[in-house]
């Protein structure tokens, strides 16, 4: 009798503790990751905000200076130049890479002959190291007799261009390899989106006598909306954070000539790790964070509403 | 969900062949050739000697591996290569382990606080890493992690992106499988490792490919956290090497080739998986 009862009791207790045991397992699985995210992600985030209100420069102890760093930033002509440069990287880079990759994906999706090979040609640059390819492009842009592009231009009977030495041409010249390297990724994502559109939609549209252009406008693009939103936000963040190409292609005068190619991240790098003005640099990183946040939110709002 | 050959065939029947298509194909092909031209020029110039660099023909007149011998002779590149391999492999293994463990826990366990943990991890996606490098640098210098493998690796050991990706995939694993394993008396860790993990291998390979590639090409953080040449990763080493070579473009191209060739080989071997992985990650992520 008692044994039966205790066995039953034990069973109930066993059942209860089985569920508790699972909760315990869950928290033990999460223990190390929670510690990691707290120490490596959340704490540094708070610290970056805190540092941005101090004048710390590694030499003397930090003291609270309120919004001084932000006021200094707002009055720094270099910051506005850098801000403009970053905007240009974004405003040229995102539309150009999106239109190019969509056109390529749209036609590549219909190609049967050597499909995998052509796809590989477009995808290959995505796997290269930006720092390595920056030097290849830098070589392309050299003046004659070394530079490949100027060689082609003179061969075509056109005049030589200064490229990286020009305050006007340098930024697009640096943007080109960034677009080039990211194109393959965007093509693949667009193709995945195109594949997800059921073929019956196209067939029905053709039976209805819609032209290819009408099909593109009325079916393909609206149904690709989620893909487009993802790629716009993703590539905008990428162009706003451009660094590797600029650093390597303008090494002798980072961000030059005359700061016309300097993006926000390069300014942060120089302020923090060349001038060692950690507080001021932290304020710049907070501004970068706000810019990324605002740009993403605006894009999501605009693209979702249509 | 991934495009297979049958659906490809069906698509091509849906888009019939006509002369315009040949024109389109040619344009696409030429565009693709333009895309790989920088890589071809890099490889070609790495096989030329200094006197031929001015000759812009793609096929070198007298190709030789002499540049590679010179660049590799002092062992610097091998060391940087080794550093990059160690860093990328360790970070990838860590991400495959922890991101999927956390993703699995958030997808398959019921407990109070689950949603909060998920939101907290997801919220880290909003913070750009550039904002964290200054605190990371201070942390690394106070713990003596500057110029160490751990210093290069620690910020990326787990990522919210990977966790989110794995959570999405573990949600598709039927609970019955896990219950059956529970009835068999397996403990929760073994169920995850032996039962659930093999069911999401496509997602694991996508995560592994992305993490490896991201760390192999990483520049910003390794540039900050390494001071001594011995600890440079390949991209940082190459950058310093190129600066030092000044105008010896054939040497710079050889270095750039050494940084690029390994990923190209891996790609040629694993193209199918890589393209599928990018699609998977892009669609779910």
Digit-by-digit pLDDT tens for chain B (285 residues) are 344 444 555 665 555 556 778 888 999 999 999 999 999 999 999 999 888 877 777 788 888 898 999 989 988 999 999 999 999 999 999 999 999 999 999 999 999 999 999 999 999 999 999 999 999 999 999 999 999 999 999 999 999 999 999 999 999 999 999 999 999 989 999 999 999 999 999 889 889 988 999 999 999 999 999 999 999 999 999 999 999 888 788 999 999 999 999 888 887 788 777 888 777 776 665
The whole-number pLDDT of residue A135 equals: 94
Return d(Cα A36, Cα B157) in angstroms, integer: 9
Across the interface, whether the CB atoms of B216 and A129 are under 8 A apart is answered yes
pLDDT at residue number A5:
47
Question: Given A132, A177, A188, which is nearest B278 (Cβ)?
Answer: A188
Encoding tokens for residue A178? 């960034």
Pair (A102, A211) in one structural domain:
yes
- Number of domains making up chain B: 2
Of B114, B90, B105, B91, nearest to B193 (Cα)?
Answer: B105
Residues B86 and B219 placed together within one structural domain of the fold: yes
Domain count, chain A: 2
The answer as to whether A65 is a domain residue is no
- The Cα–Cα gap between B138 and A281 comes to 13
Residue A67 domain-assigned (yes or no): no
Q: What is the pLDDT of residue B12?
A: 57
Tell me the pTM: 0.89
Is residue A297 a part of any domain in this protein? yes
Q: Is residue A274 part of a domain?
A: yes
- Asked if residue B254 and residue B144 are part of one domain, the reply reads yes
Q: A78 and A256 in contact (C-beta within 8 Å)?
A: no
Q: Does some domain include residue A151?
A: yes
Residues B37 and B75 in one domain: no
pLDDT bin (cut points 50, 70, 90) of residue A2 is very low
- Residue A138 and residue A12 share a domain: no
- B46: containing domain: 5-64
Give residue-wise pLDDT tens across range B242-251: 998 887 889 9
pLDDT at A250: 93
pLDDT for the residue numbered B274: 80
Same domain, residue pair B49 and B152: no
What residues form DSSP beta bridges with B131?
none
Degrees, nearest 5: CA angle A244-A250-A253: 125
Q: How many CB pairs (< 8 A) connect A and B?
A: 263
Question: C-alpha A211: how far from its chain's center?
Answer: 36
- What is the pLDDT, as a whole number, of residue B15? 59
Model confidence pLDDT, tens digit, residues A170-186: 999 999 999 999 999 99
Amino acid A139: pLDDT: 93
pLDDT digits (tens, 9 = 90+) for A244-273: 999 999 988 898 899 999 999 999 999 999
The CATH number that applies at residue B138 is 1.10.3720.10
Distances (CA, A) of B213 to B206, B262, B267: 11, 11, 11
A99 and A137 belong to one structural domain:
yes
Residue among A286, A90, A45 at smallest CA distance from B136? A45
- Quick check: A41 and B126 in contact, CB under 8 A? no
Percent with pLDDT over 70 in chain A: 94
Per-residue pLDDT averaged across A123-151, rounded?
91
- A215/A88 same-domain check: yes
A60 lies in some domain: no
The whole-number average pLDDT for the span A186-212 is 89
Residue among B38, B134, B252 minimizing CB distance to A51: B134
Co-location of B220 and B177 in the same domain:
yes
Question: What is the domain extent for residue A266?
Answer: 72-305
Same domain, A225 and A300: yes
- Supply the mean pLDDT for chain B: 88
Do residues B108 and B175 share a domain? yes
Q: Coil, strand or helix: which one is A143?
A: coil
Which chain A residues are Cβ-neighbours of B134 within 8 angstroms? 47-48, 51, 272, 278, 281-282, 285
Q: Answer whether residue A56 is part of any domain.
A: no
Instruction: Clarify whether residues B18 and B154 are in a common domain.
Output: no
B109 to chain A, closest Cα gap in Å: 7
Of B135, B189, B242, the CB nearest to A47: B135
Q: Across residues A207-231, what is the average pLDDT?
A: 89
> pLDDT at position B2, please?
41
HEC assignment per residue over A239-264: HHCCCHHHHHHCCCCCCCCCCCCCCH
* Average pLDDT taken over every residue of chain A: 89
Q: What is the pLDDT of residue B1?
A: 37
Residue A278 domain-assigned (yes or no): yes
């Amino acid at each position: 009798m008692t044994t039966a009862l205790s066995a039953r009791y034990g069973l109930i207790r066993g059942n209860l503790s089985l569920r508790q045991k699972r909760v315990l397992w869950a928290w033990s699985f999460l223990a190390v990751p929670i510690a990691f995210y707290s120490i490596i992600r959340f704490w540094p985030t708070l610290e970056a905000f805190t540092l941005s209100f101090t004048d710390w420069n590694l030499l003397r102890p930090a003291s609270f200076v309120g919004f001084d760093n932000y006021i200094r930033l707002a009055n720094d002509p270099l910051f506005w130049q850098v801000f403009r440069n970053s905007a240009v990287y974004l405003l040229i880079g995102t539309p150009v890479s999106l239109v190019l990759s969509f056109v390529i994906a749209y036609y590549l999706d219909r190609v049967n002959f050597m499909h995998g090979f052509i796809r590989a040609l477009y995808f290959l640059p995505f796997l290269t190291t930006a720092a390595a390819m920056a030097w290849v492009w830098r070589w392309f842009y050299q003046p004659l007799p070394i530079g490949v592009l100027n060689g082609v231009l003179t061969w075509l009977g056109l005049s030589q261009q200064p490229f990286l030495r020009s305050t006007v041409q340098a930024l697009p010249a640096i943007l080109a390899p960034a677009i080039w390297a990211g194109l393959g990724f965007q093509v693949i994502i667009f193709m995945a989106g195109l594949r997800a559109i059921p073929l019956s939609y196209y067939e029905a549209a053709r039976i209805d006598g819609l032209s290819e252009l009408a099909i593109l406008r009325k079916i393909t693009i609206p149904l690709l909306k989620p893909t487009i939103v993802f790629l716009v936000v993703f590539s905008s963040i990428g162009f706003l954070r451009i660094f590797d190409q600029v650093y390597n292609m303008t090494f002798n005068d980072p961000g030059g000539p005359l700061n016309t190619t300097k993006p926000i991240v390069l300014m942060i790098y120089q302020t923090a790790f060349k001038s060692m003005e950690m507080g001021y640099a932290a304020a710049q990183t907070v501004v970068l964070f706000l810019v990324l946040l605002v740009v993403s939110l605006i894009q999501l709002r605009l693209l979702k509403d249509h | 969900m991934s495009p297979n050959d049958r659906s490809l065939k069906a698509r091509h029947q849906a888009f019939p062949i006509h002369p315009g298509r040949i024109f389109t194909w040619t344009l696409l092909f030429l565009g693709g050739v333009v895309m790989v031209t920088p890589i071809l020029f890099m490889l070609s110039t790495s096989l030329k000697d200094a006197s031929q660099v001015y000759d812009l023909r793609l096929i070198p007149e007298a190709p030789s591996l002499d540049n590679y011998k010179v660049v590799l002779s002092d062992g610097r590149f091998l060391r940087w290569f080794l550093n990059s391999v160690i860093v990328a492999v360790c970070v990838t293994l860590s991400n495959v382990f922890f991101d999927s463990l956390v993703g699995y826990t958030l997808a398959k366990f019921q407990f109070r606080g689950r949603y909060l943990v998920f939101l907290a991890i997801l919220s880290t996606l909003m913070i750009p890493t550039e904002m964290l490098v200054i605190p990371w640098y201070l942390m690394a210098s106070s713990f003596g992690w500057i110029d160490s493998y751990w210093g290069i690796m620690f910020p990326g050991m787990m990522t919210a992106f990977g966790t989110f990706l794995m959570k999405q995939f573990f949600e598709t694993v039927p609970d019955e499988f896990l219950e059956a394993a529970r009835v068999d008396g397996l403990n929760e860790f073994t169920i995850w490792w032996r039962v659930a993990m093999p069911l999401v291998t496509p997602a694991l390979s996508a995560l592994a490919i992305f993490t490896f590639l991201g760390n192999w090409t990483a520049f910003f953080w390794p540039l900050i956290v390494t001071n001594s040449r011995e600890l440079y990763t390949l991209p940082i080493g190459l950058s310093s090497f190129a600066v030092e070579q000044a105008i010896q473009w054939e040497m710079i191209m050889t270095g750039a080739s050494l940084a690029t060739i390994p990923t190209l080989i891996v790609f040629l071997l694993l193209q199918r998986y890589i393209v599928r992985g990018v699609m998977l990650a892009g669609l779910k992520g």
